[in-house]
């Protein structure tokens, strides 16, 4: 076939697909309206007849179930319609022609964001990018290939591969390529301007990324990936893949992502809906801890408070103290303390439940032997319930609720204290650490270094709730969680996990490689994958950033841009003039720019100075929840995970131990242009 013929046949196929998509949407619309009518008439029937329904409620129940079934079916129709409407805009982006082993003619498989068959049960015209056969598109060039189908491995040969760009239903380009995902297309995608949200990458998923996305074997998958290597993108596409392949057992509400902050959560929030899935829950671990510690302390510092202190007071030993309290050694000391705590904590006294008397020895026996497996602060309750039960069985009568409560209090008074804050202070004192201020609940604010130790103590003493309903946990920025935080996480979640991060981006003066201790915590179920190729930055920016880390073996996509500008200014005036000039020039070509500082105070000052000079900026702090088009001012640590077309790093000339890491994180946020400014 000549090139022209091939193109014409592609355009005819596109037109055919669009026609069929429209017909299917019309059919679904009709079914939806029919469903609405059904629902309405079921409602009418119910209201007319519910007084006469059978007394046991069977008929009522059946009616409710039928109604629910119809409502769900209509919701599904609505979702399907939305998906198909999106597909009209761009129905597919790739095609593989595959010659099955033993066959004579190859079959064409078009690949898009969803499956599409003109009628239910018919062979699809388009295959979802997550379908088994679509793996061929991402994993192979022309030649021998295979894919995993539910029934086993399918062997054959790829005879041709095509890539398309279809926009608003029109073919922008279609070309046959014999390489995997053409680098030129990837460069085009990356060379375009940054969105205010992370993009979906289905068109250009790379082979090594695809391997991670389609991994269903490993219980705990740990991805160490360079800045901009696509870790977050891959983790989200993996979720979409898992949801597609295990629809029966896995729902979006069964998945939780631990993310650094709300801005980041917003930044990634549209990807799953775009891929036709519901969004998933997101939570910051610090916020979770804060909520869990209500009742023990009235306030807690978070990671950002800790970082600010670290930058402002590098000489005060804050880091050393934090690291100590997050270490395996410290957990060991807490365990040692817990092993001997009972003697210090308990003050047994004989008790009476009406006429049933129990001596101190009997209570001690129950407490130390019968119920020894129950966490210590929950154990007295178990002893009490056991004895109330004994009384009620003996006298064949139930005790009133309020009396049981009085008895419970009497038993609880056998604890010297139930205040975990006080108990933590005992531990600190016993082990030679500085103790916390002995103050009432309302005034207690935990320093960040104590937040997770106290939470650990709480779970060990009261027992923690296992979050059994969560079937998959995603931990982004894994390098920023401490040993102790992982120990707490492993107590809370026993599900499958995708853990991803970059040791070079640790929010500390030194890198932390969590892979040195994760296997100890999660066992041998861990699989580690390294992603070395960076996609975000131009070569100029990536090479500049690499100077700060000493990480080797990094690969870059050959995308060039403007050289990095490094400048020192004698006055704010000069710095602002230059920054505004470059940002103004950028506004013509780009969508997003960021001015990144080391501390929040510096970010507020920059916001004020830039606004005063008429540059509209949006300041992101820990209370922000979205990031917008235009110029953003924030700290390097709030900008983690985000990216901007232009980045202006504004740092004081005086360095502190965090400066290297801060500059690295700042530099790797830039897609096209990077300016590193210093104020004298």
Ligand X SMILES: Nc1ncnc2c1ncn2[C@@H]1O[C@H](COP(=O)(O)OP(=O)(O)OP(=O)(O)O)[C@@H](O)[C@H]1O
Q: Which of 163, 233, 269, 498 binds ligand X (CB under 6 A)?
A: 233
CB 198 within 8 A of CB 271: yes
Is there binding between residue 663 and ligand X (CB under 6 A)? no
DSSP strands (E only) in 241-326: 255-258, 281-283, 299-300
The smaller minimum CB distance to ligand X, of residues 233 and 607, is found at: 233
- Nearer Cβ to ligand X, position 363 or 499? 499
Stretch in the footprint of ligand X (CB under 6 A) among 108-116, 121-129, 186-194, 327-335: 186-194
| Residue 506 binds ligand X, judged by CB under 6 A | no
Nearer to ligand X, 225 or 649 (CB): 225
- Region binding ligand X by CB under 6 A among candidate stretches 161-169, 184-192, 515-523, 618-626: 184-192
Separation between Cα atoms, residue 169 and residue 89, nearest integer Å:
5
Instruction: Choose the stretch contacting ligand X; rule: CB under 6 A; options: 34-42, 204-212, 272-280, 460-468.
Output: 204-212
**Tokens 């005086």 identify what position?**
654
Q: Over 552-597, what HEC string results?
A: CCCEECCCCCCCCEEEEECCHHHHHHHHHHHHHHHHHHCCEEEEEE
Is residue 586 within the footprint of ligand X (CB under 6 A)?
no
Q: Which of these ranges, 156-164, 230-238, 311-319, 608-616, lies near ligand X under the rule CB under 6 A?
A: 230-238
For 508-525, the three-class secondary structure string (H helix, E strand, C coil) is CCCCCCHHHCHHHHHHHH
Instruction: Tell me if 230 contacts ligand X by CB under 6 A.
Output: yes
DSSP conformational letter for 469: T
**Binding residues for ligand X restricted to 258-317, rule: CB under 6 A:** none
| Spatial CB neighbours of 446, under 8 Å, sequence gap ≥ 6 | 293, 297, 299, 300, 301, 436, 454
- H or E element: which one contains 164? strand 152-167
Distance CA 89, CA 170 (A): 8
Residues touching ligand X, count (CB under 6 A): 24
**Choice between 293 and 554, CB closer to ligand X:** 554
At its nearest, how many Å lie between ligand X and the CB of residue 185?
9
Rounded least distance, CB 113 to ligand X, Å: 15
- Residues numbered 533 to 562 that lie near ligand X (CB under 6 A) are 535-536
Please, are residues 261 and 286 in contact by the beta-carbon 8 Å criterion?
A: no
Q: Does 228 participate in binding ligand X (rule CB under 6 A)?
A: yes
Segment contacting ligand X by CB under 6 A, of 93-101, 221-229, 288-296, 331-339: 221-229
Which residue in the set 35, 225, 276, 649 belongs to the binding site for ligand X (CB under 6 A)?
A: 225
Residues 475-504 that bind ligand X (CB under 6 A): 502
Least spacing, CB of residue 451 vs ligand X, in Å: 25
- As measured in angstroms, the least distance from the Cβ of 195 to ligand X is 8
By CB under 6 A, residue 229 contacts ligand X: yes
Please check whether residue 475 is in contact with residue 258, taking contact to mean a CB–CB distance below 8 angstroms: yes
Stretch binding ligand X (CB under 6 A), from 48-56, 80-88, 110-118, 194-202:
194-202
Say whether 535 sits in a helix, a strand or coil: coil
> Distance (Å, rounded) from C-alpha 26 to C-alpha 153?
38
Nearest approach, Cβ of residue 100 and ligand X (Å): 28
Q: Is 414 helix (H, G, I), strand (E, B) or coil?
A: coil
- At residue 200, what are phi and psi to the nearest 5 degrees? -80, 150
Task: Quote the least distance from Cβ 186 to ligand X, whole Å.
Answer: 6
Q: Is 190 in the site for ligand X (CB under 6 A)?
A: yes
CB closer to ligand X out of 235 and 363: 235
Residue 233 CB, nearest distance to ligand X (Å)?
Answer: 3
Among 133, 201, 297, 489, binds ligand X (CB under 6 A): 201
What gap in Å lies between CA 418 and CA 377, rounded to an integer? 7
Min CB(521)–ligand X separation in Å = 22
Does 645 help bind ligand X (rule: CB under 6 A)? no
What mask of x and - would describe binding to ligand X in positions 625 to 644, judged by CB under 6 A? ----------------x-x-
State the minimum distance, in angstroms, from the CB of residue 552 to ligand X.
18
Q: Is 665 exposed, middle or buried (0-12, 13-18, 19+ CB in 10 A)?
A: buried
Q: CB nearer to ligand X: give 260 or 453.
A: 260
The closest alpha carbon to 323, from 305, 310, 313, 311, belongs to: 310
313: which 2 tokens?
Answer: 């007071």
Rounded alpha-carbon distances, angstroms, from residue 281 to 130, 234, 257, 373, 501: 22, 17, 6, 33, 19
- In whole angstroms, how close is the CB of 190 to ligand X at the nearest point? 6
Instruction: Examine residue 661 and tell whether it contacts ligand X (CB under 6 A).
Output: no
Say which residue the tokens 């108990």 belong to. Answer: 423
Please, are residues 63 and 45 in contact by the beta-carbon 8 Å criterion?
yes
646 binds ligand X (CB under 6 A): no
The least distance separating ligand X from the CB of residue 232, rounded to whole angstroms, comes to 3
625: exposed, middle or buried (C-beta count within 10 Å: 0-12, 13-18, 19+)? exposed
Taking the complex as a whole, how short is the minimal distance between the CB of residue 141 and ligand X, in angstroms? 16
DSSP code at position 435: P
Stretch that binds ligand X, among 55-63, 159-167, 201-209, 305-313 (CB under 6 A): 201-209
Q: Binding-site residues for ATP, please?
A: 225-232
CB 626 within 8 A of CB 612: no
CB atoms closer than 10 angstroms to residue 124: 16
Closer residue to ligand X in complex, CB, 460/559 = 559
- Contacts of residue 439, defined as CB under 8 A and 6 or more positions apart, other chains included, come to none
Q: Does 134 bind ligand X (CB under 6 A)?
A: no
Q: In the set 637, 668, 676, 677, which binds ligand X (CB under 6 A)?
A: 668
Q: Which stretch binds ligand X (CB under 6 A): 197-205, 409-417, 441-449, 578-586?
A: 197-205
Q: What is the DSSP letter of 107?
A: E
Stretch that binds ligand X, among 98-106, 231-239, 564-572, 612-620 (CB under 6 A): 231-239
Residue sitting closest to ligand X (CB): 230
- 538: CB partners within 8 A, 6+ apart: 559, 560, 561, 562, 671, 672
CB of 571 to ligand X, least distance (A): 33
Q: Which residues of 29-43 are buried (b: 16+ CB within 10 A; e: fewer)?
A: eeebeebeebbeebe
Please provide the size of the chain in residues.
Answer: 680
Nearest CB to ligand X, comparing residues 196 and 356: 196
Number of alpha carbons in the 13 Å side-chain half-sphere of residue 345: 28
Residues that bind ligand X (CB under 6 A): 186, 189-190, 198-199, 201, 204-206, 209, 225, 227-233, 502, 535-536, 641, 643, 668
């Amino acid at each position: 076939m000549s090139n022209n013929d091939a193109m014409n046949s592609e355009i005819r196929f596109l037109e055919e697909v669009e026609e069929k998509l429209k017909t299917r949407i019309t059919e679904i619309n009709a079914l939806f309206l029919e469903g609405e009518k059904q629902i309405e008439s079921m409602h009418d029937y119910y209201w007319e007849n519910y007084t006469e329904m059978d007394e046991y409620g069977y008929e009522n129940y059946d009616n409710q179930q039928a109604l629910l079934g119809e409502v769900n079916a209509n919701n599904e129709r609505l979702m399907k319609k939305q998906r198909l409407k999106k597909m009209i805009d761009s129905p597919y982006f790739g095609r593989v022609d595959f010659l099955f082993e033993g066959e004579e003619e190859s079959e064409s498989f078009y690949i898009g964001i969803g499956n599409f068959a003109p009628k239910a049960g018919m062979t699809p015209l388009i295959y979802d990018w997550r379908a088994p056969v679509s793996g061929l598109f991402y994993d192979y060039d022309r030649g021998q290939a295979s894919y995993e189908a539910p029934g086993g491995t399918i062997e054959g040969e790829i005879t041709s591969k095509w890539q398309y760009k279809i926009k608003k239903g029109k073919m922008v380009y279609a070309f046959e390529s014999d390489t995997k995902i053409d680098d030129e297309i990837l460069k085009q995608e990356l060379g375009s301007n940054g969105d205010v949200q992370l993009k979906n990458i289905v068109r250009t998923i790379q082979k090594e990324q695809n391997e991670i996305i389609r991994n269903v074997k490993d219980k705990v998958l740990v991805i160490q990936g360079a800045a901009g290597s696509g870790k977050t993108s891959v983790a989200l596409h993996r979720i979409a893949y898992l949801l597609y392949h295990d629809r029966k057992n896995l729902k979006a509400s069964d998945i939780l992502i631990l993310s650094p902050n709300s801005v980041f959560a917003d930044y990634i929030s549209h990807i799953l809906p775009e891929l036709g899935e519901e969004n998933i829950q997101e939570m910051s671990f610090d916020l979770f801890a804060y909520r869990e510690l209500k009742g023990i302390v009235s306030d807690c510092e978070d990671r950002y408070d800790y970082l600010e202190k670290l930058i402002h007071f590098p000489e005060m030993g804050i880091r050393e103290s934090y690291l100590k309290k997050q270490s395996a050694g410290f957990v060991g000391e807490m365990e040692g303390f817990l092993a001997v705590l009972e003697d210090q904590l308990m003050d047994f006294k004989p008790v009476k439940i009406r006429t049933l008397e129990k001596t101190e020895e009997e209570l001690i026996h129950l407490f130390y032997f019968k119920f020894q497996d129950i966490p210590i602060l929950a154990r007295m309750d178990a002893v009490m319930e056991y004895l109330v039960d004994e009384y009620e069985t003996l006298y064949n009568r139930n005790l009133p609720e309020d009396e049981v409560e009085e008895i419970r209090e009497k038993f609880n008074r056998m604890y010297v204290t139930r205040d975990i804050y006080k108990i933590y202070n005992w531990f600190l004192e016993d082990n030679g650490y500085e103790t916390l201020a002995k103050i009432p609940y309302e005034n207690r604010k935990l320093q960040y270094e104590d937040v997770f130790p106290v939470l650990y103590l709480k779970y060990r003493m009261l027992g923690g709730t296992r979050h059994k309903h969560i079937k998959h946990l995603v931990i982004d920025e894994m390098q920023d969680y401490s040993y102790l935080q992982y120990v707490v996480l492993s107590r809370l979640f026993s599900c499958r996990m995708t853990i991803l991060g970059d040791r070079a981006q640790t929010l500390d003066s030194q890198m932390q490689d969590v892979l040195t201790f994760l296997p100890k915590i999660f066992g041998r179920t861990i699989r580690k994958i390294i992603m070395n190729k960076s996609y975000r930055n131009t070569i100029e920016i990536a090479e500049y950033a690499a100077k700060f880390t000493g990480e080797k073996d990094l690969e870059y996509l050959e995308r060039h841009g403007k050289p990095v500008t490094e400048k020192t200014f004698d006055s704010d005036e000069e710095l602002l003039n230059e920054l505004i000039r470059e940002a103004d020039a950028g506004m013509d070509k780009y969508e997003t720019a960021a001015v990144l500082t080391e501390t929040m105070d510096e970010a507020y000052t920059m916001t004020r100075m830039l606004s005063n000079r008429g540059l509209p900026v949006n300041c992101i702090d820990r209370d922000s929840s979205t990031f917008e088009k235009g110029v953003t001012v924030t700290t390097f640590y709030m900008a983690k995970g985000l990216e901007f077309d232009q980045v202006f790093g504004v740092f004081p000339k005086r360095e502190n131990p965090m400066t290297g890491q801060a500059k690295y994180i700042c530099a790797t946020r830039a897609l096209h242009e990077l300016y590193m400014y210093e104020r004298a």
